[in-house]
Amino acid sequence: MAVRPITIIGHKALHQPTKKVREVTDEIRDLVEDMFETMDAANGVGLAANQVGVRQRIFVYDVPGEDEDEPDRRGVVINPVLEKGPVPAGTPDPEDGSEGCLSVPGEHFPTARADWARVTGTDLDGNEVVVEGTGLMARALQHETDHLDGKLYVERLTPTYRTQSREAIKERGWEAARVTKWDPATQEAEDV
């Protein structure tokens, strides 16, 4: 297993839809192991394959339970299909709706999401997987599926928060420096 560099906003792999996994090969199994290790090293709750530069329709997740009685939920979904409840209208609550992303490191912005979501797909053995949840779990399912569709959470922000996100990205210098990846194991950035 290895920690892989994580692609940063602006990298083309994040802005293109991923390809359906036709067969689970040893290469796919190794990718999933590396994705878990990378997500853990970055302290994430989810990671999509294109965040490590691989355009396959796969994501991993590790979402803490909403309360102390609820266990953490960890797994992989291959070729996920998303269903979700309605997204509330208006400006999201900054307290409950703040969202971040390993591909937009260090930033968090209120993002409107449905409070319930479910994905269906398969696991590494071809068995059907159904993952359903509310709160943070629902947010993670929507966020990771968006990645696989070539969308980042900053594209879902209200105009005010979208402007703030652009300013933060510019301030960090990712575009000017042409930084395309960061390594969660070393916390170092890579230039083009």
The active-site residue, picked from 23, 66, 99, 144, is: 144
Task: Indicate the pTM of the whole model.
Answer: 0.92
Pairing of strands 73-84, 58-63: antiparallel
90 contacts 113 by C-beta, under 8 angstroms: no
Find the Cα–Cα–Cα–Cα dihedral 186, 187, 191, 192, rounded to 10°: 80
Q: From the first residue on, what is the mean pLDDT of each consecutive set of 10 residues in the chain (192 residues)?
A: 90 94 97 98 96 97 86 95 92 83 93 96 97 95 98 94 91 68 73 54
Q: Annotated binding site for Fe cation, which residues?
A: 101, 143, 147
- pLDDT value, residue 178: 59
- Smallest CA-to-CA distance from 124 within 50, 39, 21 is with 21
167 classed as catalytic: no
- For 187, residues 6+ apart whose C-beta sits below 8 A from its C-beta are none
